[in-house]
Amino acid sequence: MKAPPIPVPAEAGELRSTRPRRRRTLAKVPIYLMLALGAGFALIPFIWMVSTALKTPGQLFKFPPEWIPNPVAWTNFGEAWDALPFGAMVLNSLFVTTLAMVGELSSAAVVAYGFARFHFPFRNALFLLMLSTMMLPWVVTLIPGFLIWKQFGLINTFDPLTVGALFAWGPFYIFLLRQFFLGVSRDIEEAAIVDGANPVQVLWYVMLPLVRPVLLAVAVLSFQGNWNNFKGALIYLQEPLTRFTLPLGLQFFQATLSGGESPRWHLMMAMSTLMVIPVMVLFFLAQRQFIEGIQLGGVKG
């Protein structure tokens, strides 16, 4: 049975019922109910987060809990935004994320192509080796990694967060892309080679367009990962404030806010909401490709 690598038709695999239409629809009501329950579970914390972000401290601990605060404290967002050079941080985050994404994508594509289409000794062993690096706890590599960058004098620059991407540091992306390359029919590829294309051209003009959904998925995942990258920024970005990326700026602010035992929840939630918006916007825009990419990775895995 062939399993095409590109979006699967929706009907395959459904448990089709043979009962009359009306009863089928009725039977689906409990299904919708359960689905709604699950969706509610997923959504409610988000709503609560935004709701809390709009409360004043006095409203935070009211009982019973209020969903829509009255009055709405839009100023929390203003307060959160003004407290730090968020504008600069957003730009820094964008810069770092873009460079890292481009680096990750291109190097992952190249390496995946190598693993997928070419035979060489130790190929499988090397591939497994690559996979196994996913199991390395980051703390193992933290200090030695830091020392390496220090040798090059690149602490407190954006380099550790971006240049490293050129070395295909995302085993998962390589894995995913390889799976898809494996699924591409060889005919087109061979036609291109016969026409005199070198491997790079084949990759660029033939392979990549055929796996566009995955590329997009990897791109969105990569964006998400780099945008939210906190540990890297914490270690490598030191001063001044205008050099920080968003997650680090957020932490800075958190430390300022959480005096004593409990954080100032309303401001924390306001900040979190602000920070999460870009990723969510991106997600909504690209969700179809994104989700299909994830799905297919799971299938191929």
Partner 1 sequence: MHSGLMRIAGLTAAISLVATACASPGATPSRGAGASPTVAGASPTVTAAPPSQDAATPTQPAAQKVTYRLTTWAGEDESNELQELVLDEINASQSEFEIVHEPAPADYYTKLQTTLAGGTGADFMWLSQEYVAGYASRGALLDLTEPLKAIDSPAAAVDRYFPDVMSTALYQDHVYGLPWISQPVVLYYNPALFDAANIDYPDDTWDWDTFLTNAKALTKDTDGDGTPDQYGFSASGWPPVHMFIWQAGGDVISDDLKSSPIDSPEAIAGAEFYKSLIYNPECCPTEDTIAEQGFGEMFKAGTVAMFMGGASDTFESADGTVLDIGASVVPMGPTSRTTFAWTGSTVVNSTVENPELAVKALVALTDGIQHWKIVSPNMDLATKEVVTASLPDKWKDQKGPQVEAILASTSDMRSFNVIPRQQEWDDLFWREFQDKLYHDQGTAADLAAAARTQLEALLPE
Partner 2 sequence: MPRIEWYAETLLRYAFVAAVIVGIMLLTYRGLVAVGVRRQTATGFALILPWFLGFLIWNLFPVAASLYLSLTNYNILQTPDFVGLANYDRLLNQDQQFWASLRLTMAYSAITVPLGLALALLAATLLNQGVRGVGLWRTLYYLPAVLPAFVTALLWRFMLLPTRSGLVNTATEPIWSLFGDNAPRWFLDPDTVLWGFVIMSFWGVFGANTVIMLAGLKNIPRDLYEAADVDGAGILPKFRHITLPQLTPTLFYLLIMGIIAGVQIFDIGLFVRVPRENFLNVYLYQQGFTFFNMGYASAIAWVMLVIILVLTLAVFRSSQAWVYYESEARR
Report 51-90 residues binding partner 1 (CB under 8 A): 56-58, 61, 83-84
Tell me if 245 sits within 8 A of 237, measured CB to CB: yes
Please compute, for residue 163, the number of CA atoms within 13 A of its CA located in the half-sphere on the CB side.
10
Taking the least distance from each CB to partner 2, the nearer of 72 and 169 is: 169
Taking the least distance from each CB to partner 2, the nearer of 210 and 297 is: 297
- Tell me how far, at minimum, the Cβ of 257 lies from partner 2, in Å: 11
Give Cβ neighbours of residue 106 (< 8 Å, ≥ 6 apart): 166
- Residues between 164 and 223 with contacts to partner 1, criterion CB under 8 A: none
Q: Is 196 left (phi over 0), alpha (psi -120 to 50) or beta?
A: left
Tell me if 213 sits within 8 A of 292, measured CB to CB: yes
Give Cβ neighbours of residue 69 (< 8 Å, ≥ 6 apart): 51, 54, 55, 56, 59
Instruction: Indicate which of partner 1, partner 2, none lies near residue 169 (CB less than 5 to 8 Å, by partner kind).
Output: partner 2
Give which of 289, 156, 288 is closest to 234, Cα–Cα: 156
262 touches partner 1 by CB under 8 A: yes
Tell me if 112 sits within 8 A of 177, measured CB to CB: yes
User: What is the token pair recorded at 202?
Assistant: 């084949």
Instruction: Indicate which of partner 1, partner 2, none lies near residue 197 (CB less than 5 to 8 Å, by partner kind).
Output: none
Selected binder of partner 1 within 98, 238, 242, 287 (CB under 8 A): 238
Is residue 130 helix, strand or coil?
helix
Instruction: Indicate which of partner 2, partner 1, none lies near residue 135 (CB less than 5 to 8 Å, by partner kind).
Output: partner 2
Taking the least distance from each CB to partner 2, the nearer of 91 and 216 is: 91
Start-to-end CA span in the chain (Å):
17
Tell me if 70 sits within 8 A of 55, measured CB to CB: no
- Tell me how far, at minimum, the Cβ of 75 lies from partner 2, in Å: 20
Instruction: Indicate which of partner 1, partner 2, none lies near residue 179 (CB less than 5 to 8 Å, by partner kind).
Output: none
Task: Please state, as a whole number, how many other Cβ atoms lie within 10 Å of the Cβ of residue 130.
Answer: 16
Instruction: Indicate which of partner 2, partner 1, none lies near residue 234 (CB less than 5 to 8 Å, by partner kind).
Output: partner 1
- Tell me how far, at minimum, the Cβ of 226 lies from partner 1, in Å: 19
Instruction: Indicate which of partner 1, partner 2, none lies near residue 235 (CB less than 5 to 8 Å, by partner kind).
Output: partner 1
Size of the site for partner 1 (CB under 8 A): 34
Instruction: Indicate which of partner 2, partner 1, none lies near residue 188 (CB less than 5 to 8 Å, by partner kind).
Output: none
- Tell me how far, at minimum, the Cβ of 209 lies from partner 2, in Å: 18
- Tell me how far, at minimum, the Cβ of 138 lies from partner 1, in Å: 13
Give which of 211, 238, 244, 228 is closest to 283, Cα–Cα: 228
Tell me if 201 sits within 8 A of 192, measured CB to CB: yes
- Tell me how far, at minimum, the Cβ of 286 lies from partner 1, in Å: 31
Please compute, for residue 73, the number of CA atoms within 13 A of its CA located in the half-sphere on the CB side.
21
150 touches partner 1 by CB under 8 A: yes
156 touches partner 1 by CB under 8 A: yes
Give which of 36, 72, 37 is closest to 51, Cα–Cα: 72
Taking the least distance from each CB to partner 2, the nearer of 39 and 188 is: 39
Task: Report the interface residues with partner 1, using CB under 8 A.
Answer: 56-58, 61, 83-84, 143, 146-147, 149-150, 155-156, 234-235, 238-241, 248, 251-264
